[in-house]
Amino acid sequence: MKIKKANFLQSSPNLKLCPQIDLSEFALLGRSNVGKSSFINTLCNNKNLAKTSNTPGKTRLINLFEIQTTAKPFIIADLPGYGFAKVSKAEQAQWQKNLEEYLLKRDNLASCVQFIDARHEIQKNDFQMHEWLKVNSLKSFVILSKCDYISRNEISNKIFAVKKYFNTDVLPFSAKNRFYVDDVLNYLERLM
């Protein structure tokens, strides 16, 4: 599967304001600044599609992107990051409520994609998110992001560790050099 075109659709604060689109949807989850926006831009070969930032907590809404491919079109939902963000506890609590509603009630959600930074140990809130997905019977897999910062041997060790702890499929990804883009696209196609 190859991407022909990608468009930003809409930003919404909650599920109620998200458009109903009859396409498979993939929800991107991960700690703040884990590389979700860079993933979208790299996957779609458009560095300006999703806004990237070095400031954690920049994504504050549910950002929807429509991806046209040589196979089937699909939707990517870029969700606010969990973990450290320079926002109030009240705002973080509201994000959590909106995200839970979105993930539990979005009819066309094909899978959740949990991002884990390859440069670091798996964080406590990564484990918590994985457990929450499991308890709520939501399909998910892991993207090991920022693999361009570690050696191939370290990538193999990280994949092994995440598979061991999360018991799910783990795909490496590098936004910098576009390694693994085809593997990710082929994996998404199988889930649609």
Predicted confidence at residue 41, as pLDDT, reads 94
Would you say how long the chain is, in residues? 192
Q: Report long-range pairs for 168-172 (Cβ below 8 Å, ≥24 apart).
A: 168/130, 168/140, 168/141, 168/142, 169/141, 169/142, 170/141, 170/142, 170/143, 170/144, 171/141, 171/142, 171/143, 171/144, 172/118, 172/143, 172/144, 172/147
Judge whether 55 and 87 are in contact, CB under 8 Å: no
Predicted confidence at residue 75, as pLDDT, reads 97
> Rounded to 5 degrees, what are φ and ψ at 71?
-100, -95
Q: What are 73-96's pLDDT values in tens digits?
A: 999 999 988 765 566 777 767 777
Question: What average pLDDT does this structure show over 135-163?
Answer: 95
pLDDT at 52 over 60: yes
Judge whether 175 and 42 are in contact, CB under 8 Å: yes
pTM over 0.85, yes/no: yes
Q: Which position has the token pair 């993207």? A: 143
Predicted confidence at residue 182, as pLDDT, reads 92
Q: How far is CA 169 from CA 9, 63, 116, 139, 146, in A?
A: 29, 25, 13, 11, 17
Q: What are 124-139's pLDDT values in tens digits?
A: 999 999 999 999 999 9
